[in-house]
Amino acid sequence: MATHPLIDEHPLHSAAHPHVDWPFRRSTAMRYGAAVLAVTAALAIRYLIYGDLQQRLVFTFFVPAAIFAVWYGGVGPGIVATVLGLLAGDYFFLNSRLAFWPLHLRESLAVGAYAVTTLLCVILCERLHALVRQFEHALEQERHHLAGKLGAAARAFIESLEHQPSLASYHAPVSWPFQRPVTVRYGVAIALVIVAFVLRYWLFGTQDHRFPFIFFVPAAMIATWYGGMAPGLLATAAGLMLGDYFFLSSHEALGPVREIERVSIGMYAVTTMLCVMLFEDLHNRIRRLEHALERARHHRQLHRDSATPGSPAVTPLTH
């Protein structure tokens, strides 16, 4: 079976990939090894910048590691990276160094914020992985004329294809996640940033400069997962402006910031942009699968219509 030009992957049934589901066609050693390497790199970068004598940005560098791990390897490696980052940050960089206990209030807040952010990313990324698998299965069934149960998203997409009255009036369906109206996608992004701002202000006010971007990272994650790259970038930029203006030391200003605040801003930007790019990569993968499924059904219908009496024969397109 040749590789479909719209899918930059090997065929779904291949001896090189006995486990066809995304992302499990990568070996277990590669997926979990990437998670361990990502956490190790985050630990090394954090130590090189601050050493182990300053309780600064304890878990900030481990969030991108978990994001990469779940994107590359799925939910298992994502959880492993989350737990390893939590243990490494707690053991090496909190006040009770070289120990896991006790935790003071500020340390408990840091642990909670890290756990919620990374686990949210793991859940959202795995939802996108699940959509990829749904459309892979639907495409495989369509190409081989197989019957089987489909996921809700793939089934709804196929039903939208079947509602086309004829090939002459055919219009390709809107791709993921653009089925949702523009106003809804951008409205959700703005609403998430507002909720993040209210939560940060309610918990810490403007005089407490701890965790200036604590709730804006999850807001950008959800906005990208729900609405795509552009709403995610909007939420990222809005969170950066609000966090800088209200919650840094020189609040209600966008002027010069201290070194620790520059690092905090930089890590917020790196974390959210990484999340936006990796989520958008999965969005693109879903769109390519949708397009391939749409073409497969379109050519199947064209071949079926050409086989009717009085119609010229049409050679089906080889996939």
186 and 316 in a single domain? The answer is yes
Residue 61's SS3 state is coil
224 and 317 in a single domain? The answer is yes
Q: Which helix (H) or strand (E) holds 88?
A: helix 75-93
Cα end-to-end distance, the chain, whole Å: 7
**Which range (139-143, 158-162, 221-225) has the least confidence?**
158-162
200 and 121 in a single domain? The answer is no
- Out of 146, 164, 195, a domain closes at 146
Cis amide linkage into residue 177, ω under 30° from 0: yes
What digits encode the pLDDT tens for the residues 9-41?
444 444 444 446 878 888 999 999 999 999 999
42 and 142 in a single domain? The answer is yes
Q: Please check whether residue 305 lies inside any domain of the structure.
A: yes
136 and 184 in a single domain? The answer is no
Work out the burial of residue 47: count CB atoms within 10 Å of its CB; fewer than 13 is exposed, 13-18 middle, 19 or more buried: middle
197 and 286 in a single domain? The answer is yes
18 and 116 in a single domain? The answer is yes
Q: Please check whether residue 166 lies inside any domain of the structure.
A: no
pLDDT, greater one: 311 or 314:
311
Q: Averaged over 269-298, what is the pLDDT?
A: 89
317 and 192 in a single domain? The answer is yes
Q: Could you give the number of structural domains in the chain? A: 2
Q: pLDDT band for position 209 (50/70/90)?
A: confident
Q: Please check whether residue 240 lies inside any domain of the structure.
A: yes
- Out of 146, 170, 199, a domain closes at 146
Q: Please check whether residue 158 lies inside any domain of the structure.
A: no
Tokens of 26: 């990568």
Q: Please check whether residue 275 lies inside any domain of the structure.
A: yes
Q: Please check whether residue 173 lies inside any domain of the structure.
A: no
Q: Please check whether residue 153 lies inside any domain of the structure.
A: no
Per the structure, the complete domain to which residue 261 belongs is given by: 178-319
15 and 95 in a single domain? The answer is yes
What digits encode the pLDDT tens for the residues 36-75?
999 999 999 888 887 765 566 788 899 999 999 999 999 9
117 and 211 in a single domain? The answer is no
- Out of 146, 168, 193, a domain closes at 146
Torsion (CA) 59, 64, 67, 70 in degrees, nearest 10: -80
229 and 299 in a single domain? The answer is yes
188 and 142 in a single domain? The answer is no
Q: Please check whether residue 154 lies inside any domain of the structure.
A: no
